Amino acid sequence: MKTFSLYLYSNKNLVGSLLALLGLAAWGLGFIGTFALPIVVGLYAFGVLVTPRTRYELQLEQGQTDEQIRAQLKVLLQKTKKRLPEELQRKAQSISDKIVELLPLLHTFEHGGNREAFNVKQTALDYLPSTLENYLNLPTAYARLHVGADGKTPQQMLGNQLELLEGSLGETERLLLEGDVQKMQVNGRFLEDKFGTPEKFL
């Protein structure tokens, strides 16, 4: 059922349906006659076949330096700019900015094997890109309009996910500055449990 819903909202179906409607309009105006049905079906099939399916691949490579992470986050936000609503783009930018602020603070902790330092970098390299990737690979209309079992659209769900990431990073910054290792570990486990398996938004 979910697969069918995704197809209904897809660009392939929308373009195919538009061409089929144009075929029906041509039939109604008398431009086509006997072969109206196969022509309409053919127009729909043509629309489906020629419409490309855009796939986003946003995962970043592991083991990068701070400077490489900053550069990759900038590229990531550029890739998502056209598809994300302005409010969600601002949240993604805020998360990126917070990661960049935290990177210099992490070195003191990561050499001691602190899990929180690992999870902040995973937010940059995996959690944020995977969350955005899963959302952006949905048809645009589906992401904005389809209401799931929890009463939320994928767009609303993404907003909630980004708020969780943003809030957790803010808490991480506070704990890093306070040097509270135990609470940082708790916060790190929350990030890993929540975002280790990215939301599918279906």
pLDDT digits (tens, 9 = 90+) for 157-180: 999 999 988 988 888 777 777 665
User: Would you kindly state where each structural domain of the chain is located, as residue ranges?
Assistant: 2-50, 66-195
Residue 10 is predicted with a pLDDT of 76
Q: Are 103 and 140 in contact (CB under 8 A)?
A: no
* Tokens describing residue 86: 């302005």
How much is the pTM? 0.74
DSSP helix/strand/coil, 194: helix
Q: Are 201 and 154 in contact (CB under 8 A)?
A: yes
Query: CA 125: distance to chain centroid?
Result: 14
